Amino acid sequence: MKIVFERKKCIGCGSCQALCPQYWEITKDERAHLKDSEKNPKTGNEEIEVEEVGCIQEAADSCPVECIYIIKKPDAKA
Ligand code: SF4
């Protein structure tokens, strides 16, 4: 599945980092960064492909501005 992080909406509350430090960190500009992600040049969003959503689900659920999107793709193997 794909994780999309709309960084411009982030208010830097730190909730994602607290719940899921494997994937999230707060950077010097006081916004979150999705680790190992690539920046989409068109949207400015950070994007990453993951096999398992893991704690990213909790981070997304806890985000007060709902700027973490989990996009489940149709099963490509089917
Ligand atoms: S939980 Fe949401 S608003 Fe808070 S730091 Fe993470 S991405 Fe930003």
Domains and CATH numbers, the chain: 2-71 (3.30.70.20)
| pLDDT band, very low/low/confident/very high, at 78 (cuts 50, 70, 90) | low
Which of 7, 20, 63, 69 most suits a substitution to test ligand 1, by most atoms within 8 Å of the C-beta?
Answer: 63
Q: How many CB atoms lie within 10 A of CB 67?
A: 19
State residue 77's pLDDT score. Answer: 61
Instruction: For residue 68, give the ligand 1 atom closest to its CA.
Output: 7
Q: Per-residue pLDDT for 1 more than 60?
A: yes
pLDDT digit string, tens, across residues 23-74: 999 999 999 999 999 999 999 999 999 999 999 999 999 999 999 999 997 7
Does residue 45's CB lie within 6 angstroms of at least one atom of ligand 1? no
d(C-alpha 2, C-alpha 12), whole Å: 22
